[in-house]
Structure 1
Amino acid sequence: MNSPFVIWQLGDGKPGHENQSLGLAEAIGRRIPVAVHRIDLSGGERLIARLRSTFRQSREFPAPSLIVGAGHATHVPMIGLARRTGTPCVVLMKPSLPAGLFDLCLVPRHDLRGVPGGNIVPTVGALNRVHVADGTPKSGRMILIGGPSSTHGWDTEGTLRALADIVASAPEATWTLTDSRRTPEGVRAKIRSRFPRIELFPHEETDRGWLPDRLAAAAEAWVTEDSISMIYESLTSGARVGLLPVPRQKTGRVARGIDRLVADGFATPYDTWKHDGVLPPPGQVLREADRCAGLILERWYPQAR
């Protein structure tokens, strides 16, 4: 292509949603030159105000080749822009509106039931920004912890006991740990006092590229089971992935998705690792963003591939 492939990315300001659409945009950018223009929907306005803001911001951008977004706040504005410009729109989640209103829905398979429709592509987890270039040295050891959620409770002492076993398994290794917005108050202080060999990076002190870069160089990653997005980011990195135990509050779609990852050989529960003494590599490295980028270009822009 002589000019960049223009992507309008609708963002609601939530890191998990933004990382999905950026992951797709960056994957397209690994194939062809792209220019990403972000439309900010993080203000929390009412729908009419949000639409006005969307159209006002979009007037400053060159005509799009693709419109992408994740998060319920992006749905109606995305459809409005697609209709106004005649451009394909791609939603990266199970939408809250009828799927037929979007040109393509990239939906994590654990959110789907039954046979997906023609414009729904199941993905193994949510797309993300992790990318590992060929030949990247992989020696790092990561620990990623979350916190209480709608699907999981929390057990600080249980998590600390598991960390003690994991750190003791590699006495000379340096471990890097980061937490999340859901991590309970006081957990970081306990980790610092009990595990001086763990380098702790609070989530609020890292930028949005820090975790993808660290995971790209990781050979091993341990993630609390509640942190579904960080589990899939770790699997995309190609690291050996262990699951730290967290009490389950529900046995719904998230739990089923985690159990399927274990059954398919992607990740190893802590209890299994402790019994066997082995953290095996995943049977397959996830490259879902790259796969979906290829599908999109093949569907609408085959000449650009």
Structure 2
Amino acid sequence: MSASPLSIWAVSDGRAGIQNQALGLAEAVARLTPATIEIKPVRWRPPFDRWPSALKTPAMLAPEAFDPRAVDEWPDLWIATGRATLPLSARVRDWSGGRTFTVQTQDPRWRNPAYDLIVAPAHDGLSGDNVFEIIGSPHRITPTALAAAAPAFAERIAALPHPRVAVMIGGRSKAFDLPQSHAALLADQIRAAVEAAGGSLLLTFSRRTPEAAKAVMAERLSSLPGWTWDGTGDNPLFAMLDAADHVLVTEDSANMATEAASTGKPVHILPMVALKPAGKFARLHADLAAHGAARPFDGALDAWSYEPLNETERAAHAVLEGMRAR
């Protein structure tokens, strides 16, 4: 490491939930030491997208993707997230002549020794000399980022009555589903809790939320004061989390639960329809409960306090320590 600013590349396939892990960790490093950050998108041409990582070569990258063959100078630090990045991440040491410190978030499940550091969710149970475990996933949420987002949405939020309840709804995955009937049940429970508290609603859906579930929840919650974001315009999530007194989040997303727990506000976990044993999600929620951040939603908006989860910064310290040690 030199006295000049670190050069950091945040690498992902560009999807928000994936990119935010790499970029969030890069920003956390940059808060600890002077650094420049560049975002590098990795996308593969459709015929090759689902090929095994071992068979992919840079010649198979999509035209708009970052191409390692065009690199003149490699960065000090490569932080990558997601399956799409693995065929590149595992080769960065060789391509850079050992110059670049490579960090992969999540469990790569392929060539794990090829990375200098793996920042892995503790609920995945990954172990190894180059593994650093954190609760949940890296992300971009900080008190400063939330406060900075608030003014742009103040006209929609500032007049809403307290307690303000931010609700983050996920959708179908390998482990969970959100059929219309269950979405209706959740909506009725949420409406009853907000009405009983005399509060207001700040509702967002993910790209995975089924349209039928989205429609029934929006309709059944429409009588509450508040704002249901329809997906158009700038994403108000940070402003909603800043304004919220409580956060309700469906159990299907490690990212959403971790982000919510970083606010220091009570996090209520909403149940979904399980398609298989909860496994790692149950372990994550147990970790969040042990931290004092999260509890299962029981229909009441009970309040409690805890130290906001700050695992992204802890991981950033580990990255810098690893770079210094090398």
Same fold? TM cut 0.5: yes
> Where does structure 1 differ by over 6 angstroms across 4 or more consecutive aligned residues?
none
Tell me the CA shift for residue 191 of structure 1.
3.6
Alpha-carbon distance in 2 for matches of 1:72, 1:8? 17
Distance 1:183 1:51, change over 3 A: closer
**Aligned-residue RMSD, C-alpha:** 2.7
Q: 1:4 and 2:17 equivalent?
A: no
Distance 1:11 1:57, change over 3 A: farther
Corresponding residue to 1:257 among 284, 290, 309: 284
Name 1:29's counterpart in structure 2: 30
Name 2:192's counterpart in structure 1: 165
Corresponding residue to 2:200 among 174, 197, 208: 174
Corresponding residue to 1:141 among 140, 143, 165: 165
Name 1:13's counterpart in structure 2: 14
- Is residue 121–residue 133 contact of structure 2 (8 Å, CA) maintained in 1? yes
Paired letter, 1:21: A
Corresponding residue to 2:320 among 278, 297, 300: 297
Alpha-carbon distance in 2 for matches of 1:264, 1:237? 13
Distance 1:135 1:167, change over 3 A: closer
- Is residue 99–residue 120 contact of structure 1 (8 Å, CA) maintained in 2? no
Name 1:126's counterpart in structure 2: 137
TM-score, normalising length from structure 1? 0.85
TM-score, normalising length from structure 2? 0.80
Name 2:256's counterpart in structure 1: 230
Tell me the CA shift for residue 93 of structure 1.
0.8
Identify unmatched segments of 5+ residues in structure 2: 49-55, 151-161
Alpha-carbon distance in 2 for matches of 1:234, 1:109? 17
Alpha-carbon distance in 1 for matches of 2:120, 2:102? 14
- Is residue 266–residue 303 contact of structure 2 (8 Å, CA) maintained in 1? yes
Alpha-carbon distance in 2 for matches of 1:262, 1:103? 31
Deviations for 1:95-151, whole angstroms, at most 9, x for unmatched residues?
1213211100000011115xx222101110011110113996998531111112211
Name 1:153's counterpart in structure 2: 177
Alpha-carbon distance in 1 for matches of 2:89, 2:297? 41
- Is residue 181–residue 203 contact of structure 1 (8 Å, CA) maintained in 2? no
Name 1:187's counterpart in structure 2: 213
Tell me the CA shift for residue 80 of structure 1.
1.9
Distance 1:239 1:289, change over 3 A: same
Alpha-carbon distance in 1 for matches of 2:129, 2:123? 18
Tell me the CA shift for residue 177 of structure 1.
0.8
Tell me the CA shift for residue 84 of structure 1.
1.7
Deviations for 1:56-96, whole angstroms, at most 9, x for unmatched residues?
3533xx54110110111211211222322121100001112
Alpha-carbon distance in 2 for matches of 1:198, 1:135? 19
Percent of aligned pairs with the same amino acid: 29
Q: 1:199 and 2:205 equivalent?
A: no
- Is residue 241–residue 268 contact of structure 1 (8 Å, CA) maintained in 2? yes
Alpha-carbon distance in 2 for matches of 1:169, 1:27? 39
Alpha-carbon distance in 2 for matches of 1:63, 1:135? 32
Alpha-carbon distance in 1 for matches of 2:145, 2:203? 25
Name 1:66's counterpart in structure 2: 77
Alpha-carbon distance in 2 for matches of 1:44, 1:221? 39
Q: 1:55 and 2:68 equivalent?
A: yes
Q: 1:244 and 2:275 equivalent?
A: no
Residue-pair matches, total: 291
Alpha-carbon distance in 2 for matches of 1:140, 1:301? 44
Name 1:89's counterpart in structure 2: 102
- Is residue 246–residue 267 contact of structure 2 (8 Å, CA) maintained in 1? yes
Name 2:246's counterpart in structure 1: 220
Distance 1:264 1:236, change over 3 A: closer
Alpha-carbon distance in 2 for matches of 1:212, 1:33? 25
